[in-house]
A and B are shown apart, each in its own frame.
Chain A
Amino acid sequence: MSKSIVDHRYFIWAILALPSIPMIGALASGQPGPNGMPMTEMLLHPTGEFSARFLIIAMMLTPLRMLFPGSGFLRWLMKRRRYFGVAAFFYALFHTVLYIVDMGSLRAILGEFLALGIWTGWLAMVVFVPLTITSTDDAIRRLGPRWKTLQRTVYIVAVATLLHWIFVHNNFGPALVHFVPLAGLEIYRVLHNFRKRSTRPQAA
Protein backbone atom coordinates (compact mmCIF):
# COMPACT_ATOMS: atom_id res chain seq x y z
CA MET A 1 0.00 0.00 0.00
CA SER A 2 2.62 2.55 1.14
CA LYS A 3 4.94 1.27 -1.56
CA SER A 4 2.38 1.94 -4.25
CA ILE A 5 2.02 5.54 -3.00
CA VAL A 6 5.79 6.06 -3.01
CA ASP A 7 6.08 4.59 -6.47
CA HIS A 8 3.22 6.65 -7.87
CA ARG A 9 4.13 9.31 -10.40
CA TYR A 10 2.31 11.99 -8.37
CA PHE A 11 4.42 11.22 -5.30
CA ILE A 12 7.67 12.35 -6.91
CA TRP A 13 5.91 15.33 -8.49
CA ALA A 14 4.59 16.33 -5.06
CA ILE A 15 8.08 16.10 -3.50
CA LEU A 16 9.62 18.16 -6.28
CA ALA A 17 6.82 20.75 -6.11
CA LEU A 18 7.05 21.08 -2.31
CA PRO A 19 9.62 23.94 -2.21
CA SER A 20 7.46 26.01 -4.58
CA ILE A 21 4.49 26.06 -2.16
CA PRO A 22 5.90 28.62 0.33
CA MET A 23 7.30 30.61 -2.62
CA ILE A 24 3.90 30.84 -4.35
CA GLY A 25 2.29 31.58 -0.96
CA ALA A 26 4.69 34.47 -0.34
CA LEU A 27 4.09 35.84 -3.82
CA ALA A 28 0.30 35.53 -3.47
CA SER A 29 0.31 37.32 -0.09
CA GLY A 30 1.38 40.51 -1.87
CA GLN A 31 3.54 41.43 1.14
CA PRO A 32 7.17 42.56 0.70
CA GLY A 33 10.01 40.70 2.39
CA PRO A 34 12.23 41.99 5.23
CA ASN A 35 13.57 45.55 4.76
CA GLY A 36 10.82 46.12 2.22
CA MET A 37 12.51 43.88 -0.36
CA PRO A 38 10.02 43.21 -3.19
CA MET A 39 8.94 39.56 -3.19
CA THR A 40 9.85 39.17 -6.87
CA GLU A 41 13.45 40.00 -5.98
CA MET A 42 13.48 37.99 -2.77
CA LEU A 43 12.33 34.81 -4.52
CA LEU A 44 15.03 35.05 -7.20
CA HIS A 45 17.50 33.32 -4.97
CA PRO A 46 15.48 30.30 -3.75
CA THR A 47 13.99 29.58 -7.19
CA GLY A 48 17.43 29.60 -8.80
CA GLU A 49 18.90 27.53 -6.01
CA PHE A 50 16.26 24.79 -6.22
CA SER A 51 16.66 24.67 -9.99
CA ALA A 52 20.41 24.13 -9.56
CA ARG A 53 19.87 21.55 -6.81
CA PHE A 54 17.53 19.40 -8.87
CA LEU A 55 19.80 19.70 -11.89
CA ILE A 56 22.78 18.59 -9.79
CA ILE A 57 20.85 15.67 -8.29
CA ALA A 58 19.80 14.48 -11.76
CA MET A 59 23.39 14.66 -12.97
CA MET A 60 24.87 12.98 -9.88
CA LEU A 61 22.79 9.81 -10.19
CA THR A 62 24.82 7.96 -12.82
CA PRO A 63 28.22 8.35 -11.09
CA LEU A 64 26.63 7.70 -7.68
CA ARG A 65 25.31 4.41 -9.02
CA MET A 66 28.83 3.50 -10.11
CA LEU A 67 29.91 4.00 -6.48
CA PHE A 68 26.90 2.23 -4.94
CA PRO A 69 25.57 -0.22 -7.52
CA GLY A 70 23.51 -2.10 -4.92
CA SER A 71 21.56 0.89 -3.61
CA GLY A 72 17.80 0.46 -4.01
CA PHE A 73 17.21 4.14 -3.25
CA LEU A 74 19.51 5.22 -6.08
CA ARG A 75 17.73 2.79 -8.42
CA TRP A 76 14.42 4.32 -7.34
CA LEU A 77 15.77 7.82 -8.02
CA MET A 78 17.33 6.78 -11.32
CA LYS A 79 13.94 5.68 -12.65
CA ARG A 80 12.71 9.20 -11.86
CA ARG A 81 15.70 11.13 -13.12
CA ARG A 82 13.75 12.89 -15.88
CA TYR A 83 11.35 14.29 -13.27
CA PHE A 84 14.29 15.98 -11.53
CA GLY A 85 15.41 17.49 -14.81
CA VAL A 86 11.93 18.76 -15.64
CA ALA A 87 11.57 20.18 -12.10
CA ALA A 88 14.93 21.94 -12.48
CA PHE A 89 13.63 23.50 -15.69
CA PHE A 90 10.38 24.71 -14.11
CA TYR A 91 12.19 26.30 -11.15
CA ALA A 92 14.52 27.98 -13.67
CA LEU A 93 11.49 29.20 -15.64
CA PHE A 94 9.91 30.53 -12.42
CA HIS A 95 13.26 32.23 -11.69
CA THR A 96 13.36 33.81 -15.17
CA VAL A 97 9.74 35.04 -14.99
CA LEU A 98 10.41 36.59 -11.55
CA TYR A 99 13.51 38.29 -12.97
CA ILE A 100 11.60 39.73 -15.94
CA VAL A 101 8.76 41.00 -13.71
CA ASP A 102 11.23 42.37 -11.17
CA MET A 103 13.24 44.25 -13.82
CA GLY A 104 10.02 45.68 -15.21
CA SER A 105 11.31 46.84 -18.60
CA LEU A 106 12.99 45.39 -21.66
CA ARG A 107 15.41 48.32 -21.65
CA ALA A 108 16.60 47.44 -18.14
CA ILE A 109 16.93 43.75 -19.04
CA LEU A 110 18.93 44.46 -22.20
CA GLY A 111 21.01 47.03 -20.30
CA GLU A 112 22.59 44.30 -18.18
CA PHE A 113 22.41 41.42 -20.65
CA LEU A 114 26.15 41.46 -21.33
CA ALA A 115 27.17 41.16 -17.66
CA LEU A 116 28.89 37.77 -17.25
CA GLY A 117 26.55 36.87 -14.40
CA ILE A 118 23.50 37.52 -16.61
CA TRP A 119 24.14 36.15 -20.10
CA THR A 120 25.33 32.86 -18.63
CA GLY A 121 21.91 32.55 -16.94
CA TRP A 122 20.10 33.20 -20.23
CA LEU A 123 22.35 30.67 -21.99
CA ALA A 124 21.52 27.99 -19.41
CA MET A 125 17.81 28.74 -19.81
CA VAL A 126 17.88 28.57 -23.62
CA VAL A 127 19.82 25.29 -23.75
CA PHE A 128 17.45 23.86 -21.13
CA VAL A 129 14.34 24.33 -23.33
CA PRO A 130 14.96 21.52 -25.89
CA LEU A 131 16.06 19.17 -23.09
CA THR A 132 12.72 19.65 -21.37
CA ILE A 133 10.62 19.43 -24.52
CA THR A 134 12.24 16.07 -25.34
CA SER A 135 11.78 14.59 -21.88
CA THR A 136 8.64 12.63 -22.79
CA ASP A 137 8.59 8.87 -23.47
CA ASP A 138 7.42 9.67 -26.98
CA ALA A 139 10.42 11.94 -27.68
CA ILE A 140 12.82 9.25 -26.43
CA ARG A 141 11.28 6.75 -28.87
CA ARG A 142 11.28 9.18 -31.77
CA LEU A 143 14.85 10.43 -31.28
CA GLY A 144 16.40 7.01 -30.64
CA PRO A 145 20.17 7.24 -30.08
CA ARG A 146 20.11 10.98 -30.84
CA TRP A 147 18.20 11.51 -27.58
CA LYS A 148 21.26 10.79 -25.46
CA THR A 149 23.48 13.04 -27.59
CA LEU A 150 20.96 15.88 -27.21
CA GLN A 151 20.58 15.34 -23.46
CA ARG A 152 24.35 15.56 -23.01
CA THR A 153 24.08 19.31 -23.68
CA VAL A 154 22.94 19.38 -20.04
CA TYR A 155 26.66 19.86 -19.29
CA ILE A 156 26.40 23.28 -20.99
CA VAL A 157 23.44 24.06 -18.72
CA ALA A 158 25.43 22.99 -15.64
CA VAL A 159 28.55 25.01 -16.47
CA ALA A 160 26.52 28.09 -17.49
CA THR A 161 24.47 27.80 -14.27
CA LEU A 162 27.63 27.57 -12.17
CA LEU A 163 29.12 30.67 -13.85
CA HIS A 164 25.80 32.54 -13.56
CA TRP A 165 25.62 31.79 -9.85
CA ILE A 166 29.23 32.78 -9.14
CA PHE A 167 29.30 35.98 -11.15
CA VAL A 168 25.83 37.35 -10.47
CA HIS A 169 26.92 37.67 -6.82
CA ASN A 170 30.65 37.92 -7.50
CA ASN A 171 31.00 35.25 -4.83
CA PHE A 172 32.37 31.73 -5.24
CA GLY A 173 31.23 30.20 -1.93
CA PRO A 174 27.58 29.14 -2.26
CA ALA A 175 27.85 28.10 -5.92
CA LEU A 176 30.89 25.91 -5.26
CA VAL A 177 29.25 24.33 -2.20
CA HIS A 178 26.60 23.01 -4.56
CA PHE A 179 28.72 22.11 -7.56
CA VAL A 180 31.85 20.58 -5.95
CA PRO A 181 30.09 17.27 -5.12
CA LEU A 182 28.96 16.94 -8.74
CA ALA A 183 32.44 17.81 -10.02
CA GLY A 184 33.94 15.23 -7.65
CA LEU A 185 31.60 12.53 -8.93
CA GLU A 186 32.30 13.46 -12.55
CA ILE A 187 36.03 13.08 -11.91
CA TYR A 188 35.34 9.69 -10.33
CA ARG A 189 33.25 8.69 -13.37
CA VAL A 190 36.00 9.67 -15.81
CA LEU A 191 38.69 7.83 -13.80
CA HIS A 192 36.44 4.79 -13.43
CA ASN A 193 35.71 4.61 -17.17
CA PHE A 194 39.35 5.22 -18.01
CA ARG A 195 40.46 2.37 -15.75
CA LYS A 196 37.88 0.03 -17.25
CA ARG A 197 38.98 0.94 -20.77
CA SER A 198 42.69 0.47 -20.00
CA THR A 199 42.11 -3.04 -18.60
CA ARG A 200 39.96 -4.19 -21.52
CA PRO A 201 42.78 -4.97 -24.05
CA GLN A 202 44.40 -7.38 -21.55
CA ALA A 203 41.14 -9.27 -21.15
CA ALA A 204 40.66 -9.59 -24.90
Chain B
Amino acid sequence: MRSLPVFALLLLALAVSGFGQTLINGAGATFPYPIYSKWFDEFHKLHPDAQINYQSIGSGGGIRQLEAGTVDFGASDQPMNDEQLKKQKTPVLHFPTVLGAVVATYNIEGVSAELNLTPEAIAGVFLGTIKQWNDPAIAKPNPGVKLPAADIVVVHRSDGSGTTFIWTDFLSKGSADWKAQVGSGTSVKWPVGLGAKGNEGVSGLVKQTPNSFGYVELIYAIQNQMPYARVRNAAGLFVKAELASVTAAAAGAAADIPDDFRVSITNAPGKAAYPISSFTWLLVPTRIEDPAKRKDIVEFLRWMLGPGQAMTEALSYAPLPKKVVAKELKAIALVQ
Protein backbone atom coordinates (compact mmCIF):
# COMPACT_ATOMS: atom_id res chain seq x y z
CA MET B 1 0.00 0.00 0.00
CA ARG B 2 2.91 2.26 0.65
CA SER B 3 3.80 2.31 -3.04
CA LEU B 4 0.40 3.61 -4.08
CA PRO B 5 0.96 7.34 -3.36
CA VAL B 6 4.34 7.15 -5.09
CA PHE B 7 2.68 5.56 -8.07
CA ALA B 8 -0.05 8.20 -8.18
CA LEU B 9 2.55 10.94 -7.96
CA LEU B 10 4.44 9.41 -10.84
CA LEU B 11 1.27 9.26 -12.89
CA LEU B 12 0.50 12.86 -12.08
CA ALA B 13 4.01 13.90 -13.07
CA LEU B 14 3.62 12.08 -16.35
CA ALA B 15 0.27 13.72 -17.01
CA VAL B 16 1.66 17.18 -16.24
CA SER B 17 4.65 16.72 -18.49
CA GLY B 18 2.39 15.44 -21.26
CA PHE B 19 0.03 18.34 -20.84
CA GLY B 20 0.53 21.12 -23.31
CA GLN B 21 2.43 18.84 -25.64
CA THR B 22 1.08 18.27 -29.11
CA LEU B 23 1.69 14.81 -30.48
CA ILE B 24 1.61 14.69 -34.26
CA ASN B 25 1.66 11.37 -36.10
CA GLY B 26 2.92 10.82 -39.59
CA ALA B 27 3.65 7.74 -41.68
CA GLY B 28 4.89 6.82 -45.12
CA ALA B 29 7.94 6.72 -47.34
CA THR B 30 11.11 4.98 -46.19
CA PHE B 31 13.49 6.70 -48.64
CA PRO B 32 13.49 10.12 -46.88
CA TYR B 33 13.33 8.59 -43.37
CA PRO B 34 16.90 9.58 -42.32
CA ILE B 35 16.38 13.27 -43.13
CA TYR B 36 12.82 13.27 -41.73
CA SER B 37 13.89 11.83 -38.40
CA LYS B 38 16.70 14.40 -38.24
CA TRP B 39 14.24 17.20 -39.06
CA PHE B 40 11.60 16.10 -36.55
CA ASP B 41 14.27 15.79 -33.88
CA GLU B 42 15.71 19.26 -34.57
CA PHE B 43 12.23 20.76 -34.77
CA HIS B 44 11.36 19.24 -31.40
CA LYS B 45 14.46 20.88 -29.89
CA LEU B 46 13.27 24.27 -31.17
CA HIS B 47 9.64 23.67 -30.20
CA PRO B 48 9.68 21.47 -27.09
CA ASP B 49 5.88 21.38 -27.05
CA ALA B 50 5.63 19.77 -30.49
CA GLN B 51 6.44 16.10 -30.82
CA ILE B 52 6.30 14.63 -34.33
CA ASN B 53 6.22 10.87 -34.53
CA TYR B 54 7.05 9.36 -37.93
CA GLN B 55 6.67 5.70 -38.95
CA SER B 56 8.49 4.73 -42.15
CA ILE B 57 6.06 2.06 -43.28
CA GLY B 58 6.24 2.70 -47.02
CA SER B 59 4.50 5.18 -49.31
CA GLY B 60 1.50 2.95 -49.96
CA GLY B 61 0.95 2.43 -46.24
CA GLY B 62 1.27 6.19 -45.63
CA ILE B 63 -1.43 6.99 -48.17
CA ARG B 64 -3.77 4.33 -46.75
CA GLN B 65 -3.25 5.51 -43.15
CA LEU B 66 -3.93 9.10 -44.19
CA GLU B 67 -7.13 7.95 -45.85
CA ALA B 68 -8.15 6.05 -42.72
CA GLY B 69 -7.43 9.13 -40.61
CA THR B 70 -5.01 7.33 -38.28
CA VAL B 71 -2.19 9.80 -39.02
CA ASP B 72 -2.05 13.59 -39.27
CA PHE B 73 0.10 13.59 -42.38
CA GLY B 74 1.50 11.10 -44.84
CA ALA B 75 4.62 10.89 -46.96
CA SER B 76 5.20 9.36 -50.36
CA ASP B 77 7.89 8.92 -53.01
CA GLN B 78 5.25 8.85 -55.70
CA PRO B 79 2.58 11.56 -56.11
CA MET B 80 -0.93 10.37 -55.36
CA ASN B 81 -3.03 9.70 -58.45
CA ASP B 82 -6.46 11.24 -59.04
CA GLU B 83 -8.28 8.12 -57.88
CA GLN B 84 -6.39 8.10 -54.56
CA LEU B 85 -7.00 11.84 -54.08
CA LYS B 86 -10.70 11.36 -54.65
CA LYS B 87 -10.91 8.79 -51.87
CA GLN B 88 -9.49 11.16 -49.24
CA LYS B 89 -12.13 12.72 -47.02
CA THR B 90 -10.38 16.10 -46.98
CA PRO B 91 -8.36 17.31 -49.97
CA VAL B 92 -4.65 16.56 -49.62
CA LEU B 93 -1.73 18.85 -50.52
CA HIS B 94 1.64 17.66 -51.79
CA PHE B 95 4.74 19.37 -50.39
CA PRO B 96 8.07 18.39 -51.97
CA THR B 97 10.68 18.07 -49.20
CA VAL B 98 13.95 16.88 -50.73
CA LEU B 99 15.26 15.31 -53.91
CA GLY B 100 16.69 11.90 -54.45
CA ALA B 101 18.45 10.19 -57.33
CA VAL B 102 18.62 6.61 -58.52
CA VAL B 103 21.80 5.40 -60.20
CA ALA B 104 22.59 2.58 -62.62
CA THR B 105 25.30 0.50 -60.96
CA TYR B 106 27.25 -2.40 -62.39
CA ASN B 107 29.96 -4.93 -61.72
CA ILE B 108 31.79 -5.82 -64.93
CA GLU B 109 34.88 -7.98 -64.76
CA GLY B 110 37.90 -6.00 -65.87
CA VAL B 111 36.05 -2.69 -66.27
CA SER B 112 36.52 0.07 -63.72
CA ALA B 113 35.72 3.00 -66.00
CA GLU B 114 32.59 5.09 -65.61
CA LEU B 115 30.24 4.02 -68.38
CA ASN B 116 28.10 6.34 -70.48
CA LEU B 117 24.62 4.87 -70.85
CA THR B 118 21.68 5.95 -72.95
CA PRO B 119 18.09 5.46 -71.72
CA GLU B 120 17.52 3.16 -74.71
CA ALA B 121 20.46 0.94 -73.72
CA ILE B 122 19.31 0.71 -70.09
CA ALA B 123 15.76 -0.12 -71.17
CA GLY B 124 17.11 -2.72 -73.62
CA VAL B 125 19.06 -4.45 -70.87
CA PHE B 126 16.09 -4.45 -68.50
CA LEU B 127 13.75 -5.66 -71.27
CA GLY B 128 16.13 -8.50 -72.08
CA THR B 129 16.72 -7.40 -75.68
CA ILE B 130 20.33 -6.40 -74.95
CA LYS B 131 21.94 -9.51 -73.53
CA GLN B 132 25.68 -8.91 -73.49
CA TRP B 133 27.93 -6.14 -72.26
CA ASN B 134 29.65 -5.67 -75.62
CA ASP B 135 26.34 -4.92 -77.37
CA PRO B 136 26.79 -1.97 -79.77
CA ALA B 137 24.12 0.04 -77.90
CA ILE B 138 26.34 0.01 -74.81
CA ALA B 139 29.71 0.05 -76.55
CA LYS B 140 29.07 2.98 -78.90
CA PRO B 141 28.97 5.81 -76.33
CA ASN B 142 31.95 4.21 -74.54
CA PRO B 143 34.90 4.31 -76.94
CA GLY B 144 38.09 3.06 -75.35
CA VAL B 145 36.34 0.83 -72.80
CA LYS B 146 36.90 -2.86 -73.43
CA LEU B 147 33.55 -4.47 -72.65
CA PRO B 148 33.47 -8.26 -72.27
CA ALA B 149 31.25 -10.56 -74.33
CA ALA B 150 29.59 -11.72 -71.11
CA ASP B 151 25.90 -12.15 -70.36
CA ILE B 152 24.41 -9.34 -68.32
CA VAL B 153 22.82 -10.39 -65.02
CA VAL B 154 20.02 -7.91 -64.34
CA VAL B 155 19.26 -7.18 -60.67
CA HIS B 156 16.14 -5.28 -59.62
CA ARG B 157 14.24 -4.60 -56.42
CA SER B 158 11.83 -7.32 -55.31
CA ASP B 159 10.02 -5.19 -52.74
CA GLY B 160 7.65 -2.46 -53.83
CA SER B 161 9.50 0.84 -53.55
CA GLY B 162 9.69 4.46 -54.58
CA THR B 163 13.12 3.72 -56.03
CA THR B 164 11.56 1.30 -58.48
CA PHE B 165 8.91 3.88 -59.35
CA ILE B 166 11.55 6.52 -60.22
CA TRP B 167 13.57 3.98 -62.23
CA THR B 168 10.62 2.65 -64.24
CA ASP B 169 9.19 6.16 -64.69
CA PHE B 170 12.52 7.20 -66.23
CA LEU B 171 12.62 4.10 -68.48
CA SER B 172 9.02 4.75 -69.61
CA LYS B 173 10.02 8.23 -70.73
CA GLY B 174 13.25 7.08 -72.34
CA SER B 175 11.92 4.07 -74.21
CA ALA B 176 8.62 3.55 -75.99
CA ASP B 177 9.10 -0.22 -75.82
CA TRP B 178 9.44 -0.12 -72.05
CA LYS B 179 6.33 2.04 -71.71
CA ALA B 180 4.30 -0.35 -73.84
CA GLN B 181 5.56 -3.60 -72.34
CA VAL B 182 6.18 -2.81 -68.68
CA GLY B 183 5.16 0.70 -67.62
CA SER B 184 5.94 2.38 -64.32
CA GLY B 185 5.02 1.60 -60.72
CA THR B 186 6.38 0.70 -57.29
CA SER B 187 6.25 -2.97 -58.35
CA VAL B 188 6.23 -4.00 -62.00
CA LYS B 189 6.35 -7.19 -64.02
CA TRP B 190 10.06 -7.51 -64.77
CA PRO B 191 10.82 -9.13 -68.13
CA VAL B 192 14.20 -10.42 -66.90
CA GLY B 193 16.44 -10.47 -63.88
CA LEU B 194 16.85 -11.37 -60.25
CA GLY B 195 14.93 -9.64 -57.49
CA ALA B 196 16.69 -8.53 -54.31
CA LYS B 197 15.12 -7.00 -51.24
CA GLY B 198 15.91 -3.37 -50.51
CA ASN B 199 18.72 -1.12 -51.69
CA GLU B 200 21.14 -3.13 -49.57
CA GLY B 201 19.95 -6.37 -51.21
CA VAL B 202 20.48 -5.02 -54.74
CA SER B 203 23.87 -3.48 -53.95
CA GLY B 204 24.93 -6.72 -52.23
CA LEU B 205 23.90 -8.92 -55.15
CA VAL B 206 25.48 -6.61 -57.76
CA LYS B 207 28.72 -6.49 -55.78
CA GLN B 208 29.07 -10.26 -55.60
CA THR B 209 27.69 -11.26 -59.02
CA PRO B 210 30.10 -10.81 -61.93
CA ASN B 211 28.76 -8.88 -64.95
CA SER B 212 25.63 -7.72 -63.14
CA PHE B 213 23.65 -4.53 -63.62
CA GLY B 214 21.21 -3.01 -61.13
CA TYR B 215 19.83 0.23 -59.76
CA VAL B 216 20.07 1.73 -56.28
CA GLU B 217 19.62 5.06 -54.56
CA LEU B 218 22.62 7.33 -54.99
CA ILE B 219 23.67 7.17 -51.34
CA TYR B 220 23.96 3.35 -51.39
CA ALA B 221 26.27 3.44 -54.40
CA ILE B 222 28.44 6.06 -52.68
CA GLN B 223 28.52 4.20 -49.36
CA ASN B 224 29.39 0.89 -50.99
CA GLN B 225 31.90 2.48 -53.37
CA MET B 226 30.20 0.98 -56.38
CA PRO B 227 30.70 2.42 -59.87
CA TYR B 228 27.67 4.06 -61.43
CA ALA B 229 26.98 5.26 -64.91
CA ARG B 230 26.68 8.71 -66.41
CA VAL B 231 23.24 8.74 -67.98
CA ARG B 232 22.23 10.69 -71.07
CA ASN B 233 19.72 13.42 -70.19
CA ALA B 234 17.04 15.14 -72.23
CA ALA B 235 19.59 17.66 -73.55
CA GLY B 236 21.67 14.79 -74.95
CA LEU B 237 24.56 15.07 -72.49
CA PHE B 238 25.92 12.28 -70.26
CA VAL B 239 25.57 13.47 -66.66
CA LYS B 240 26.79 11.94 -63.42
CA ALA B 241 24.49 11.80 -60.41
CA GLU B 242 25.56 14.40 -57.85
CA LEU B 243 23.60 16.59 -55.49
CA ALA B 244 24.15 19.56 -57.83
CA SER B 245 22.95 17.72 -60.94
CA VAL B 246 19.90 16.42 -59.06
CA THR B 247 18.93 19.90 -57.88
CA ALA B 248 19.50 21.07 -61.45
CA ALA B 249 16.94 18.54 -62.64
CA ALA B 250 14.37 20.01 -60.25
CA ALA B 251 15.28 23.54 -61.32
CA GLY B 252 14.85 22.54 -64.95
CA ALA B 253 11.40 21.18 -64.24
CA ALA B 254 10.45 24.04 -61.89
CA ALA B 255 9.52 26.38 -64.73
CA ASP B 256 6.31 24.50 -65.41
CA ILE B 257 5.71 22.80 -62.08
CA PRO B 258 1.94 22.48 -61.49
CA ASP B 259 0.28 24.18 -58.52
CA ASP B 260 -0.31 20.89 -56.75
CA PHE B 261 3.39 19.86 -57.10
CA ARG B 262 2.40 16.46 -58.46
CA VAL B 263 5.11 16.19 -61.07
CA SER B 264 7.70 13.72 -62.19
CA ILE B 265 11.11 15.26 -62.87
CA THR B 266 12.73 12.25 -64.51
CA ASN B 267 14.30 13.18 -67.85
CA ALA B 268 13.97 16.88 -66.92
CA PRO B 269 15.19 19.53 -69.35
CA GLY B 270 18.46 21.37 -68.68
CA LYS B 271 22.04 20.63 -69.67
CA ALA B 272 23.20 19.92 -66.11
CA ALA B 273 20.16 17.87 -65.07
CA TYR B 274 20.63 14.25 -63.98
CA PRO B 275 17.69 12.43 -65.57
CA ILE B 276 16.82 9.84 -62.87
CA SER B 277 15.86 12.28 -60.10
CA SER B 278 12.70 12.73 -58.12
CA PHE B 279 10.99 14.72 -55.41
CA THR B 280 9.65 13.06 -52.33
CA TRP B 281 6.51 14.54 -50.83
CA LEU B 282 4.79 15.20 -47.53
CA LEU B 283 1.02 14.72 -47.81
CA VAL B 284 -0.85 17.21 -45.66
CA PRO B 285 -4.65 17.50 -45.44
CA THR B 286 -6.00 20.98 -46.26
CA ARG B 287 -8.16 20.99 -43.15
CA ILE B 288 -6.69 20.16 -39.74
CA GLU B 289 -9.31 20.37 -36.98
CA ASP B 290 -7.02 20.60 -33.96
CA PRO B 291 -5.65 24.22 -33.89
CA ALA B 292 -2.51 23.22 -31.97
CA LYS B 293 -1.67 20.52 -34.49
CA ARG B 294 -2.39 22.85 -37.39
CA LYS B 295 -0.09 25.52 -35.95
CA ASP B 296 2.75 23.04 -35.44
CA ILE B 297 2.45 21.41 -38.85
CA VAL B 298 2.40 24.78 -40.62
CA GLU B 299 5.35 25.93 -38.55
CA PHE B 300 7.23 22.76 -39.38
CA LEU B 301 6.63 23.18 -43.11
CA ARG B 302 7.97 26.75 -42.97
CA TRP B 303 11.00 25.66 -40.98
CA MET B 304 11.65 22.67 -43.25
CA LEU B 305 11.68 24.93 -46.32
CA GLY B 306 14.03 27.40 -44.59
CA PRO B 307 16.71 26.19 -42.16
CA GLY B 308 15.72 22.56 -42.73
CA GLN B 309 17.00 22.59 -46.31
CA ALA B 310 20.52 23.34 -45.07
CA MET B 311 20.67 19.97 -43.30
CA THR B 312 19.94 17.86 -46.39
CA GLU B 313 23.37 17.70 -48.00
CA ALA B 314 25.05 16.17 -44.97
CA LEU B 315 22.72 13.20 -45.43
CA SER B 316 23.23 13.05 -49.24
CA TYR B 317 19.83 14.43 -50.19
CA ALA B 318 19.71 17.22 -52.75
CA PRO B 319 18.03 20.43 -51.51
CA LEU B 320 15.05 21.94 -53.32
CA PRO B 321 15.69 24.72 -55.85
CA LYS B 322 14.70 28.24 -54.67
CA LYS B 323 11.83 28.55 -57.12
CA VAL B 324 10.13 25.44 -55.74
CA VAL B 325 10.64 26.64 -52.15
CA ALA B 326 9.01 30.01 -52.95
CA LYS B 327 6.05 28.28 -54.55
CA GLU B 328 5.61 25.93 -51.60
CA LEU B 329 5.70 28.76 -49.07
CA LYS B 330 2.68 30.22 -50.86
CA ALA B 331 0.89 26.87 -50.85
CA ILE B 332 1.19 26.56 -47.06
CA ALA B 333 -1.58 29.15 -46.74
CA LEU B 334 -4.00 26.51 -48.05
CA VAL B 335 -3.68 24.48 -44.84
CA GLN B 336 -6.55 25.54 -42.61
Partners in one complex: no
